[in-house]
């Protein structure tokens, strides 16, 4: 099975607050469709461990979903932040309508161009397909 997320979509950021904010936003995206899949939970736990952010800090977010997004401040690197969100949305293999609306809304609120979300979705999907072909 190919990796669900390309390595460049999981930045190893040096700023502890940025890591915590990214993980929190990833949790919001994972919960946006109403179900946090085992794959989404594994990705969040992997990031939690790698970024030294206690997983217990995002458990409430997984329960409250999009309401938690409003309480978070702006990220330092909007493009990198959005890549993490798209990676979280794609971890189950698809971006559903609710996740897509949330991603588009986040991109808009970050001041990013409207085509950035579909571009990231396409790039990450193509990367995963290439990985699957290389291993198949």
Determine the average pLDDT of the residues in 25-36: 78
Domains in the chain (CATH in brackets) are 12-135 (1.10.3680)
Residue 55 pLDDT greater than 90, yes or no? yes
Of 120, 110, 36, 116, whose CA–CA distance to 86 is shortest?
120
Q: What is the mean pLDDT of the chain?
A: 79
Determine the average pLDDT of the residues in 107-125: 89
**pTM check: above 0.85:** no
Q: Residue 2: CA atoms inside 13 Å, Cβ hemisphere, count?
A: 21
CB 114 within 8 A of CB 108: yes
């Amino acid at each position: 099975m190919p990796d669900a997320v390309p390595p460049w979509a999981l930045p190893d950021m040096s700023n502890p607050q940025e890591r915590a904010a990214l993980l929190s936003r990833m949790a919001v995206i994972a919960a946006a469709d109403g179900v946090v899949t085992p794959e989404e939970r594994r990705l969040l736990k992997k990031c939690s461990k790698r970024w030294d952010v206690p997983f217990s800090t995002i458990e409430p977010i997984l329960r409250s979903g999009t309401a938690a997004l409003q309480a978070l401040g702006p990220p330092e690197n909007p493009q990198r932040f959005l890549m993490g969100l798209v990676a979280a949305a794609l971890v189950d293999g698809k971006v559903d309508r609710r996740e897509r609306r949330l991603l588009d809304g986040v991109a808009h609120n970050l001041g990013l161009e409207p085509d950035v979300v579909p571009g990231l979705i396409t790039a990450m999907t193509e990367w995963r397909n290439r990985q699957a072909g290389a291993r198949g």
